[in-house]
Amino acid sequence: MSKVVFNMTVSLDGFVAGPNDSPENGLGDGGDALFHWYFSGDTEISVGSGSPLLKVSPQSAEILKASIATYGAGVWGRRTFDIAGAWGGHPPGSPAFIVTHHVPQEWAYAGSPFTFVTDGVDSAIRQAKEAAGGRDVVVCTASILQQCLNAGLMDEIHVDVAPLLLGKGVRLFDHLNIKPIELERIRVVEAPGVTHLGFRLVKERQS
């Protein structure tokens, strides 16, 4: 059954980007260090022609390949879409669903690599699941994770923890309105420059 899986790189103090992020300063002040692990190994991985070729350690490569193989669709927020320059039209996961209040008309055409969702994360996740054909839906932005958690839509949280304290910036776990959620740890992998952690949300069975 299709799962909704979150995956991003985070600093030890819980930031996915430093302050002042923008298209010219993608990961914000000091945030580039979050992605050092993507470019400091010797195993090459491509995640789409709109993203740079990754060079990671063998341990990280194994995890990335296994994860990518399970993804059938991806959901992002509009800020990441804009900051990434729409990945030049080649999103790192497809089909790609972008949650936004305003559809960018230059990308709204038949055959566009993007589906813009203006009626919220429930709708985005539902559409992505339909498109994923039984594979998983990956969520790759903080604001969408938070809304999915608030709505009870998330199944797994995977974080690649970079050995870095950013102090300020874009918080991963912000704006939460949840009851405590028990997590089952399903992965811990130490790799050069990063620690890969995976958790499954323990959900109460419906009676």
Ligand X SMILES: NC(=O)c1ccc[n+]([C@@H]2O[C@H](COP(=O)([O-])OP(=O)(O)OC[C@H]3O[C@@H](n4cnc5c(N)ncnc54)[C@H](OP(=O)(O)O)[C@@H]3O)[C@@H](O)[C@H]2O)c1
Residue with the shortest CB distance to ligand X: 77
CB of 205 to ligand X, least distance (A): 28
Distances from the Cα of 119 to the Cαs of 2, 6, 79, 125, 149, in angstroms? Answer: 21, 20, 17, 11, 17
Q: How far is CA 162 from CA 2, 23, 197, in A?
A: 28, 22, 11
Answer yes or no whether residue 120 interacts with ligand X by CB under 6 A: yes
Q: How far is CA 110 from the centre of its chain?
A: 26
Q: Which is nearer to ligand X, 71 or 76 (CB)?
A: 76
Stretch that binds ligand X, among 43-51, 66-74, 134-142, 194-202 (CB under 6 A): 134-142
Interaction residues for ligand X, span 11-70 (CB under 6 A): 16-17, 21, 26-28, 34
Q: What is the rounded CA–CA span in Å between residue 139 and residue 19? A: 22
153 touches ligand X by CB under 6 A: no
Scanning the structure block, which residue is given the tokens 């993608």? Answer: 26
Rule CB under 6 A: which residues touch ligand X? 8-9, 16-17, 21, 26-28, 34, 76-80, 83, 99-102, 120-121, 140-144, 147, 170
